[in-house]
């Protein structure tokens, strides 16, 4: 059941090859399937060929424009001129590994550190959030002496062998290994009262139980790993601070708290630059990725120097492409754009507007059972006769595609629309989405 459930979530808006093995009619699609095979992961039954992007928009091969409400990688906007210029400039100067010194790299690391808790003063840059989490798991295991990890049951933290084990949503068959214990997603409906009053203690109790499960299997805990907006679990943001007692429970048991900021980090939640800020937490390790370079492949781990030093006593860690000056230039441009364009405040303002439109819709349409989120990360639950309605989510996603709005789904049942536009989104663009959603729901 775990397997089929996870499969369903991953595939909610995915292209599915014909069951009879028939070749794809679209030659562009047939090429991709021939080139990548079963590892091809594509959106929609008729995947779209994209050729350009600008702000919150992508332009397809046929010249039509799509509003991107899915993508948190080009977070300051597709082909943002400042990021593009930074990459164009640096790649023409020097692109080299970090064994040589470069002020471009250290200027960036210092700008990034200025956004982080002061004690997380060592940063290891990597190429992907998966690499950052893979490293963070080992750093936490070394520091804690533990081998066990606690994650939410629909978590996704990345794609390496080690990180896949703490990503239950990646499993199509089977389940994570013995050293991983799962807790339910922090949905107020599952813990305490609907207004979230019991959530903090309920979620902490679930973490304590998971730690006990690990102990029963012979594992001391290494860390609680949370995406602090609980993206793949369906987006759970409220009440602010609910995560703190769970973190305290893990620390009491000797484990660390790894804040996976690949999803909520870099100003998306509006109220704070990082998702853990919403919960008043100071993580032991912070990992970051997707929006960090606005699409330039880069990611990283920030940790206390003592944790990094202990890990490095056992094993060398060098990342060839990590901390190259082109990545640093891209990342630094992203930080500057967020500050100069006030994108954190924009995420708060436009996010609130979007939330208001969605809640208005929910008041008029009983199929919308919940609207949750923070800033420009919003989850919209769809149900039918009181039950989660993944088929409705799929219909809405495909209906929105016909309206040229791109969106995805998440959550345990795949019935949560994942509303995650670039941070540069304007209120007019928020309305384009909301209007389209209204039209689609009216027709569905």
The answer to the question of residue 174 lying near its own copies (CB under 8 A) is yes
Q: At which residue do the structure tokens 């994650």 appear?
A: 151
Segment contacting its own copies (CB under 8 A): 126-134, 186-194, 240-248, 358-366? 126-134
Q: Contact, 355 vs 367, CB < 8 A?
A: no
State which residue, 278 or 420, has the beta carbon closest to its own copies.
Answer: 420
Find the binder of its own copies among 317, 360, 403, 426 (CB under 8 A): 317
**In the structure encoding, which two tokens stand for residue 345, read together?**
């405040």
Find the binder of its own copies among 218, 305, 339, 387 (CB under 8 A): 305
Among positions 377-396, residues that touch its own copies (CB under 8 A) are none
Smallest distance from its own copies to CB 212, Å: 25
What is the number of other CB atoms lying within 10 angstroms of the CB of residue 177?
12
The answer to the question of residue 411 lying near its own copies (CB under 8 A) is no
Tell me, by CB under 8 A, how many residues bind its own copies: 102
Over the window 41 to 80, marking each residue x when it contacts its own copies by CB under 8 A and - when it does not, the resulting string is: xxx---xxxxxxx----xx-x---------x-xx---xx-
CA quadruple 118, 121, 127, 130: dihedral positive or negative? negative
CA distances, 382 to each of 81, 202, 361, 415 (Å):
37, 25, 12, 6
The answer to the question of residue 148 lying near its own copies (CB under 8 A) is no
Smallest distance from its own copies to CB 205, Å: 30
Smallest distance from its own copies to CB 386, Å: 30
Nearest to 88 by CA among 330, 341, 340, 320: 330
Q: Contact, 133 vs 139, CB < 8 A?
A: no
Distance CA 328, CA 105 (A): 5
Smallest distance from its own copies to CB 402, Å: 16
Smallest distance from its own copies to CB 425, Å: 17
Distance CA 121, CA 303 (A): 6
Over the window 3 to 42, marking each residue x when it contacts its own copies by CB under 8 A and - when it does not, the resulting string is: ---x---x---------------x-xx-xx-xxxxxxxxx
The answer to the question of residue 397 lying near its own copies (CB under 8 A) is no
Segment contacting its own copies (CB under 8 A): 171-179, 229-237, 334-342, 386-394? 171-179
- 373: helix, strand or coil: strand
Beta bridge pairs of residue 59:
52, 65
CB contact set of 312 (below 8 Å; sequence gap of 6+): none
State which residue, 245 or 408, has the beta carbon closest to its own copies.
Answer: 408
Among positions 241-300, residues that touch its own copies (CB under 8 A) are 289-290, 294-298
Smallest distance from its own copies to CB 438, Å: 26
Among positions 89-108, residues that touch its own copies (CB under 8 A) are 91-103, 105-106
Q: In what order do the strands lie in the sheet with 256-260?
A: 122-126, 299-303, 285-288, 256-260, 221-227, 148-152, 180-183
The answer to the question of residue 172 lying near its own copies (CB under 8 A) is yes
The DSSP bridge pattern shows strands 368-374 and 148-152 to be unpaired
Distance CA 406, CA 34 (A): 25
Smallest distance from its own copies to CB 131, Å: 7
Among positions 329-368, residues that touch its own copies (CB under 8 A) are none
Find the binder of its own copies among 170, 229, 368, 430 (CB under 8 A): 170
Nearest to 273 by CA among 343, 322, 212: 343
């Amino acid at each position: 059941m775990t397997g089929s459930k996870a499969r369903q979530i991953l595939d909610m808006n995915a292209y599915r090859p014909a069951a009879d093995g028939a070749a794809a009619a679209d030659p562009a699609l047939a090429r991709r399937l021939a080139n990548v095979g079963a590892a091809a992961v594509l959106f929609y039954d008729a995947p779209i060929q994209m050729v350009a992007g600008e702000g919150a928009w992508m332009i397809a091969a046929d010249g039509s424009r799509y509003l991107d409400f899915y993508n948190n990688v080009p977070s300051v906007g597709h082909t943002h001129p400042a990021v593009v210029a930074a990459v164009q400039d640096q790649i023409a100067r020097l692109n080299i590994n970090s064994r040589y010194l470069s002020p471009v790299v250290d200027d960036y690391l210092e700008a990034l550190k200025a956004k982080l808790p002061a004690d997380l003063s060592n940063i290891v840059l990597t190429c992907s959030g998966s690499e950052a989490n893979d490293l963070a798991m080992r750093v936490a295991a070394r520091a804690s002496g533990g081998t066990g990890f606690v994650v939410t049951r629909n978590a996704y933290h990345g794609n390496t062998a080690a990180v896949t084990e703490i990503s239950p949503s990646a499993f199509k068959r089977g389940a994570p290994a013995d050293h991983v214990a799962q807790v339910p997603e922090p949905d107020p409906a599952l813990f305490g009262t609907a207004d979230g009053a019991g959530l903090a203690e309920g979620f902490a109790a679930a973490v304590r139980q998971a730690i006990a499960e690990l102990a029963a299997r012979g594992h001391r805990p290494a860390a609680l790993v949370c995406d602090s907006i609980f993206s793949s679990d369906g987006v759970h943001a409220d009440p602010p601070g609910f995560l703190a007692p769970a973190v305290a429970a893990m620390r009491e048991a000797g484990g660390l708290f790894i804040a996976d900021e690949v999803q909520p980090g870099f100003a998306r939640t509006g109220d704070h630059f990082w998702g853990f800020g919403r919960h008043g937490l100071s993580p032991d390790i912070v990992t970051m990725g997707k929006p960090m370079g606005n699409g330039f492949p880069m990611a990283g781990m920030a940790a206390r120097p003592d944790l990094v030093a202990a890990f490095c006593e056992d094993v060398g860690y060098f990342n060839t492409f990590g901390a190259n000056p082109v990545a640093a230039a891209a990342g630094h441009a992203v930080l500057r754009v967020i500050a100069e364009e006030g994108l954190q405040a924009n995420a708060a303002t436009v996010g609130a507007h979007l939330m208001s439109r969605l809640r208005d819709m929910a008041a008029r349409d009983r199929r919308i059972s919940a609207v949750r989120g923070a800033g420009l990360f919003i989850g919209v639950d769809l149900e039918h006769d009181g039950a989660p309605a993944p088929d409705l989510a799929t219909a809405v996603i495909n209906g929105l595609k016909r309206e040229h709005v791109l969106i995805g789904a998440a959550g345990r049942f795949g019935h949560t629309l994942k509303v995650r536009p670039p941070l540069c989104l304007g209120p007019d663009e928020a309305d384009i989405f909301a209007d389209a959603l209204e039209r689609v729901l009216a027709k569905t």
